A and B are shown apart, each in its own frame.
Chain A
Amino acid sequence: MTALPGAVGSAFARVDVREKVEGRAQYTADLYRPGMLHGAILGSPHAHARIKSYDIGAALAVTGVHCVITGDDFGDHRMGAFIKDEHAIAKHKVRYVGEPVAAVAAETEAAARLAARLVNVEYEELPAILTPEDALKPGAAIIHEDLESYFKVFDTGSRGNICSRTEFSQGDASAWAKCEVVVEGHYTTQPQAHVSLEPCGALAEPDAAGRITLWSANQSVFRVQANVCESLGMPMSQLRCVTPRVGAGFGNKMEAHIQPIAVKLAMASGRPVKLILTREEDFEIVRARHPFKIRMKTGAKRDGTLVAREVEVLLDGGAYADDSPGVLGNGLWFSGGPYRLEYLRTWGTLVYTNKLRFGAFRGFGNPQVTFAGEQQIDEIAARIGMDPVALRERNLVRGDDRWFGGTEVGSNALGKCLEQVKERSGWSRRAELKPSAPGRKRGLGVACTAHVSGLLATGAIIRMLEDGSIVLNTGAVDIGQGSDTVLSQICAEALKVPIDRIRLASPDTDGSPYNWGTTASRVTYTTGRAVVAAAGEVERQAKDHAAEILECAPADLELRPGGQFGIVGVPEKSVTFAAISARAHWAKGGPIVGTNSFVFDRPTFDPKRAIAIGLPFPAIGALAFGAIVVDAEVDTVTGKVEIRRAWSAVDAGRAINPQSVEGQIEGAFVQGMGLALTEEMVWDGGRLANPSLMDYKVPTALDAPFEIDPIIVESYEPDGPFGAKGVGEIGINGVPAAIANAVASAIGARLSALPLTPERVLGAMLSLPS
């Protein structure tokens, strides 16, 4: 039977691609509303200061200005994903350079920006805390004086400048006694900026009833709604959040940026207000990837059995908690690597500093701990004289194994992933590899990793229109990863209709079922599940109609391709969705609506198996797996690392849209390459020194290797839609580690700090005994 267009497993052209290639796709900045004003913000010049007073007179006097707002215009309401520590705009205090302090709505963007610069704020400077170590010193200035009183979603252990602490352990520490080889090391990773091509922005418009409609660059209309309403102290019913096209997120747009400010400006002016951040503001005031300080110790037996690991991490959380407690927890949860260990103890502290908040960024702590962990695996392999791939193969979590803490591993093709990259890279012949030119050194490096397909709540509503076509509404935001298409494919497959009969409704807090957001590699897995279940509901209701129309029992019927039911074994007896739907609308039963709603509720930790203190996510998700081999060359003149080729195999269950899965693997690789080699946010005192694309360098088409081999390895996740899991993040976690391992293999020296700049690599080479 020929598959219908858009069937699961087909590389179907995305449903949103035509408008994008024609340049008609509308992102937040492309929206224009009648009477629209433009917004601009004024950022704090200080890293830590009390706000004494505002003088908005000069700002108000600028031609074209409609209103000026400051912290005084907001009530004392706070938002925050784990700890509600953040106001919509700085109130009483500023805690990082650039933190929004005032905002203006004016006829033109130029007028708004000019007026914002003219708002005069009087500050009383406080000592700026710029490192976690400084924040932990006795007598250090306290960044959140009311920390005790903040609402917290879990037992965070917050006190002083400690935002949260988490500890997990499983097994017995006596396992160390069995270890014949122990490696220990300290590792540091750097802050990375998302650099989504679309800077953050929002457009808020009051309607005739005074209710606000809010378009924004977002990864979740529901998180936007919650954050805005919490920080403005308004009922959720007063705010409708919708989404235009989004120009990527990678975590930057998961929680609030300036949406609360845009809404306030709209309410204060009574007009639609569009506020789009400059690239500099996007660097300076939104969020970034956490720098990690890691101390790790891994022990093994001489026969290559991994036995024990201990991991201690220190995270700089920046000025507000945001998603940081989750990043700490997730990083720790993955810090053992995808291996069987007798003993794993992993703990860490998240500390406030007077810098930009650090938050969600693809991988969510996993790339950082993997950078340390996968290098230690290689070090152990070297110490015992074992092939690094063979060592991993020996210890991979498999079959009936459970993940750290007790989570069942549903589907697991990690062994196959590793085998694929080993074969395709020619790993066993790597000693014969020749550099491409004199003066270069070459090596292969491997890394294995796992990631979550998570978590929290999601739903689906499927309606059959009068003509038998289908409207699917999930509330899931497509940020470019392709979920609109994948969810449409899942629905099309479930109902056996061609994909062009499925219309996907745009996420809208008014009409969509709750969807926590496009994050944690969760949409295909969780929302896809809801779509399949809702489709099942639709099928059941439609089948009842069909049975009455065809005068048989529902059990006699089969769902046939093309939107129809027929009697099994009687090809000429069938009835179309259109006929069924007409009956439902006009005669009996009511229009067909299938719904599903669930929250992921499998516990992360089993208290009989493991100890968890300060667990941010009691029920996290399923597991996806990946293996990478990188072929890297080091220029011995300069120390620069060039990636010649990479093989990245991913077990994401079933590939609903293989081309999109490849796209995620390839994109994650290059973003991981930036993390590994060239990207670093640098502070000059309290000020970000390189908030521009001139100074902060992401890979170009000439830097990214052409030869990235994405390898889809299919397993079958029992709970996933058609067996699928998530793929958004798995492709990035192992990249810095695999590159570091390749460099170590090439030059015979190992680096423990990211990024692997030419200076660091050259320094390592020159330090070697010649």
Chain B
Amino acid sequence: MTVPGYHRPATVDEAVAVLAGTDGARCLAGGATLVAMMNANLAEPKALVSLAGIAELAGIAASPGGGFRIGAMTRHRDTANEARLTGTLSVLRNAARQIANPPVRNMGTIGGSIAFADPAADYPPALVAAEAEIEIAGPAGRRRIPAEAFFVDWYATALGPGELVIAVHLPPPRPGAGLYRKFARVAGDFAIVSVALAAARREGGHSVRVAIGGCGPKPIHLAEVDAMLGESFGKPEIARKAGERLAAASDPVDDTRATAEYRRLLLPRLLADTIAEAETLLETK
């Protein structure tokens, strides 16, 4: 006998069908977020669609073309341990390994985490820096959108009614550095400010992508900042300018972790420090 309201589809199509056809149904991935909310009476779903039985959502696989596909149900621990995410893609490993703590990393999933879109979470800026794409399935079929377009607002994503995250797609790794610097009050806490930085050497300079977490409704990413850093990666005054631009584009709030003012102050400092660290890494390669 199944527990009333509990569904465990075997395929993505089944999951989409149940979600569409069941009033008040929600997806259950790792449970790290949803069950915590249920325990606090902040969510009372009438039905749950467990994604645990869907093979397509499991595992990290190499994609044709040299990139990778991370199934939505991949646990943070497995992403953190994935040796194939090298170079610029290490930004994702470095983010995953700093999420919470070991037991939570055994439970939480990349799909569940990004679907919640906590602006202080670790994957969003890392995925933007890694130039990831999010694959979504829903009643109207499947689609893929850049990570940057996926995170829309405070705890809001581009997922429409009845849609769920299927996988995260990563481009081929480039040799270089992929750093995730998180500043938090204590170990395992959500970020006050985080810097996700992917940098690779190229002809005439570097190819850089920087995204900032914890400073607004979604990760902050400015193409102009990527460009200026790409041209003059090592120069402190460029790092400073980059930090100022990003801080100006930020929209942090006061919360129990830190004030908005501190976040704006810290952002450029943390960025500069992360750039210096990346520089050292790139030089020693």
A–B touch (CB < 8 A): the answer is: yes
Q: Which of B40, B183, B188 contacts A638 (CB 8 A)?
A: B183
CB contact list, B69-122 vs A, under 8 A: 101
Q: Is the CB of B269 within 8 A of A702?
A: no
Q: Is the CB of A703 within 8 A of B269?
A: no
- Residues of chain B within 8 A (CB-CB) of A678 are 185-186
A695 at the interface (CB under 8 A from B): yes
- Residues of chain A within 8 A (CB-CB) of B159 are none
Q: Is the CB of B270 within 8 A of A638?
A: yes
Interface residues of B (CB under 8 A from A): 40-41, 101, 183, 185-190, 256-259, 261-262, 265-266, 269-270, 272-273
A258 vs B20: C-alpha distance when bound (angstroms): 45
**Interface 1/0s, chain A 138-162, versus B by CB < 8 A?**
0000000000000000000000000
A758 at the interface (CB under 8 A from B): yes
Chain B binding site: helix, strand, loop or mixed by DSSP?
A: loop
Closest CB-CB distance, A238 to chain B, in whole Å?
Answer: 36
Q: Is the CB of A699 within 8 A of B265?
A: no
Q: Is the CB of A689 within 8 A of B256?
A: yes
A108 at the interface (CB under 8 A from B): no
**Additional pairs, 8, CB under 8 Å, beyond known A637-B272, A695-B256, A702-B188:** A638-B269, A689-B256, A695-B257, A702-B186, A758-B262, A758-B266, A759-B262, A762-B266
Q: Which of A280, A637, A638, A697 contacts B189 (CB 8 A)?
A: A697
Closest CB-CB distance, B70 to chain A, in whole Å?
Answer: 26
A461 vs B188: C-alpha distance when bound (angstroms): 49
A182 vs B1: C-alpha distance when bound (angstroms): 79
Q: Which A-chain residue is minimally distant from B189 (CB atoms)?
A: A697
Q: Is the CB of B270 within 8 A of A759?
A: no
Q: List 19 A-B contacts (CB under 8 A).
A: A637-B266, A637-B272, A638-B183, A638-B269, A638-B270, A678-B185, A678-B186, A694-B190, A697-B186, A698-B186, A700-B186, A700-B187, A700-B188, A702-B187, A758-B183, A758-B185, A758-B266, A759-B258, A759-B262
Given A439-B273, A690-B256, verify A697-B185 contact (CB < 8 Å): yes
A228 vs B3: C-alpha distance when bound (angstroms): 42
- Residues of chain A within 8 A (CB-CB) of B270 are 637-638
- Residues of chain A within 8 A (CB-CB) of B258 are 757-759
- Residues of chain A within 8 A (CB-CB) of B272 are 637
Given A700-B187, A703-B186, verify A637-B256 contact (CB < 8 Å): no
A749 at the interface (CB under 8 A from B): no
Given A689-B256, A690-B256, A759-B259, verify A637-B186 contact (CB < 8 Å): no
How many residues belonging to A are interface residues under a CB distance threshold of 8 Å?
A: 24
A696 vs B257: C-alpha distance when bound (angstroms): 9
A700 vs B188: C-alpha distance when bound (angstroms): 9
- Residues of chain B within 8 A (CB-CB) of A682 are 256
Q: Is the CB of A280 within 8 A of B40?
A: yes
- Residues of chain B within 8 A (CB-CB) of A700 are 101, 186-188
A678 vs B256: C-alpha distance when bound (angstroms): 11
- Residues of chain A within 8 A (CB-CB) of B262 are 758-759, 762
CB contact list, A690-713 vs B, under 8 A: 690, 694-703
Closest CB-CB distance, A696 to chain B, in whole Å?
Answer: 8
A699 vs B184: C-alpha distance when bound (angstroms): 12
- Give the 6 A-B residue pairs with the shortest CB-CB distance, closest first: A702-B187, A759-B262, A690-B256, A695-B256, A697-B186, A637-B273
A762 vs B258: C-alpha distance when bound (angstroms): 13
Closest CB-CB distance, B191 to chain A, in whole Å?
Answer: 12
A689 vs B262: C-alpha distance when bound (angstroms): 19
Closest CB-CB distance, A720 to chain B, in whole Å?
Answer: 38
Closest CB-CB distance, B72 to chain A, in whole Å?
Answer: 24
Closest CB-CB distance, A463 to chain B, in whole Å?
Answer: 47
Q: Is the CB of B256 within 8 A of A638?
A: no
Q: Which B-chain residue is minimally distant from A674 (CB atoms)?
A: B186
A129 vs B29: C-alpha distance when bound (angstroms): 45
- Residues of chain B within 8 A (CB-CB) of A113 are 41
- Residues of chain A within 8 A (CB-CB) of B265 are 762
- Residues of chain A within 8 A (CB-CB) of B185 are 678, 697, 758
A700 vs B189: C-alpha distance when bound (angstroms): 10
A694 vs B272: C-alpha distance when bound (angstroms): 29
**Interface 1/0s, chain A 347-380, versus B by CB < 8 A?**
0000000000000000000000000000000000
Q: Is the CB of B259 within 8 A of A637?
A: no
- Residues of chain A within 8 A (CB-CB) of B257 are 695
- Residues of chain B within 8 A (CB-CB) of A637 are 266, 269-270, 272-273
Q: Which B-chain residue is minimally distant from A702 (CB atoms)?
A: B187
A38 vs B272: C-alpha distance when bound (angstroms): 55
- Residues of chain B within 8 A (CB-CB) of A758 are 183, 185, 258, 262, 266
Q: Which A-chain residue is minimally distant from B188 (CB atoms)?
A: A700
- Residues of chain B within 8 A (CB-CB) of A703 are 186-187
- Residues of chain A within 8 A (CB-CB) of B266 are 637-638, 758, 762
A696 vs B185: C-alpha distance when bound (angstroms): 10
- Residues of chain B within 8 A (CB-CB) of A759 are 258-259, 261-262
Q: Which A-chain residue is minimally distant from B187 (CB atoms)?
A: A702
Closest CB-CB distance, A246 to chain B, in whole Å?
Answer: 24
A397 vs B41: C-alpha distance when bound (angstroms): 55
**Interface 1/0s, chain A 669-687, versus B by CB < 8 A?**
0000000001000100000
Closest CB-CB distance, A389 to chain B, in whole Å?
Answer: 31
A637 vs B189: C-alpha distance when bound (angstroms): 19
A505 vs B113: C-alpha distance when bound (angstroms): 50
Q: Which B-chain residue is minimally distant from A113 (CB atoms)?
A: B41
A680 vs B257: C-alpha distance when bound (angstroms): 10
Closest CB-CB distance, A697 to chain B, in whole Å?
Answer: 5
CB contact list, A496-513 vs B, under 8 A: none
A701 vs B41: C-alpha distance when bound (angstroms): 30
Q: Which B-chain residue is minimally distant from A684 (CB atoms)?
A: B256
- Residues of chain A within 8 A (CB-CB) of B186 are 678, 697-700, 702-703
A694 vs B187: C-alpha distance when bound (angstroms): 12
- Residues of chain A within 8 A (CB-CB) of B273 are 439, 637
Q: Which A-chain residue is minimally distant from B265 (CB atoms)?
A: A762
Closest CB-CB distance, B186 to chain A, in whole Å?
Answer: 5
- Residues of chain B within 8 A (CB-CB) of A439 are 273
Closest CB-CB distance, B46 to chain A, in whole Å?
Answer: 16
- Residues of chain A within 8 A (CB-CB) of B190 are 694
A697 vs B192: C-alpha distance when bound (angstroms): 13
Closest CB-CB distance, A704 to chain B, in whole Å?
Answer: 10
Q: Which A-chain residue is minimally distant from B261 (CB atoms)?
A: A759
Closest CB-CB distance, A193 to chain B, in whole Å?
Answer: 12
Closest CB-CB distance, A38 to chain B, in whole Å?
Answer: 16
A757 vs B184: C-alpha distance when bound (angstroms): 11
Closest CB-CB distance, A82 to chain B, in whole Å?
Answer: 32
Q: Which B-chain residue is minimally distant from A700 (CB atoms)?
A: B187
A615 vs B249: C-alpha distance when bound (angstroms): 58
Closest CB-CB distance, A186 to chain B, in whole Å?
Answer: 21
- Residues of chain A within 8 A (CB-CB) of B259 are 759
A439 vs B277: C-alpha distance when bound (angstroms): 12
A696 vs B266: C-alpha distance when bound (angstroms): 21
A757 vs B265: C-alpha distance when bound (angstroms): 14
